[in-house]
Structure 1
Amino acid sequence: MTDLETLGQLVKRAQYRNHRTMDAALRDVGVSLVQWDALRAVDRTPSASGHDLAVATFQSDQAFGTLATRLVDRGLVTRTAGRGRRIEHTLTDEGRAALAGGQAVAVEVLDELFAPLSEGDRSSLSRLLETLTANS
């Protein structure tokens, strides 16, 4: 029988390895993993609210607000008034360049991280994780 505690630790260890490696590699582009993830979320959901972006990046509204302020200060994101009290976020040209640089880094890093797995294993892992997270 599978030890679920050990399985949970293995998932956490794989995630930690991914985050640590990506964060270090993204420094060459001038962003952290958290910043790059926020840029991806802004790019994928144009004019999204801060709350929507916080949910997409697994952060609290307050944490995302602080992060967005830093991205605005760095000239990577702009904020504009939306409908009602909604504040909408958009990438600047510099933000799009940082996102693209991060995507190039991610391709290399993820290829290396998943290199020990065959394509069939990668496909199976993806399918299993999708099943595991389908209701979250």
Structure 2
Amino acid sequence: MDETPERLAARPSWLLSQLAGRSGRLVFAAFASAGARAYHYRLLAALHEYGPASQAELGRRCRIDRSDVVTAVNQLVELGQVDRAPDPHHGRRNRVTITEPGRAQLGRLDTALDQVQDELLAPLSAADRDTLTTLLGRLLAHHQPD
């Protein structure tokens, strides 16, 4: 039984925070079962979509702190999912590239994330899901730092 006070239950900020918590737990569990973390997915997705990048570029694209990027890239290198090598055009920079095992892992994580979306958004029609995604994207864009 939900005993959330109406003054909270009627506020989108409350609803978003509650749903974000549930979503985060589902994503964490899905990725953990695939031997990954959310940072891994973000980095692999960025490398797949945009191509090789420096660790600093990856941090900016994925909105991950530089020290966390280093840790996550180290883990992905150890797993054989990315390669890190000196940038031939800039001696003090490393260039990170997704590998075939990284592409395979990204595919598994995409599947896991699709399942999370289906579970999280089960009560919504496809049209409602599209509308929700559009509205959330608009809100996020409005509140992103420049």
Return the TM-score normalized by structure 1: 0.84
Q: Aligned ranges for residues 109-120 of structure 1 at < 5 Å?
A: 109-120=116-127
Q: Residue 56 of structure 2 contacts residue 66 of structure 2 at CA under 8 Å; is this kept in 1? A: yes
Larger of the two Rg values belongs to structure = 2
Give the secondary-structure state (helix, strand or coil) at the position aligned to 1:116.
coil
1:7 shift after superposition? 2.4
Q: Is residue 134 of structure 2 the alignment partner of residue 90 of structure 1?
A: no
> How far apart, in 2, do the equivalents of 1:38 and 1:14 lie?
24
Instruction: Give aligned pairs, total.
Output: 134
Residue aligning to 1:8: 13
Return the TM-score normalized by structure 2: 0.79
Q: Residue 30 of structure 1 contacts residue 98 of structure 1 at CA under 8 Å; is this kept in 2? A: no
Give RMSD over aligned pairs: 2.2
Residue aligning to 2:137: 130
Which sections of structure 1, spanning at least 5 residues, go unmatched? none
Structure with bigger strand share is 2
Q: Residue 81 of structure 1 contacts residue 88 of structure 1 at CA under 8 Å; is this kept in 2? A: yes
Indicate how the Cα distance of structure 1 residues 34 and 13 shifts in structure 2: closer, same or farther if over 3 A, else same: farther
Deviates more, 1:84-93 or 1:64-73: 84-93
Q: Residue 26 of structure 1 contacts residue 33 of structure 1 at CA under 8 Å; is this kept in 2? A: yes
Percent same amino acid at aligned positions?
A: 30
Which sections of structure 2, spanning at least 5 residues, go unmatched? 1-6
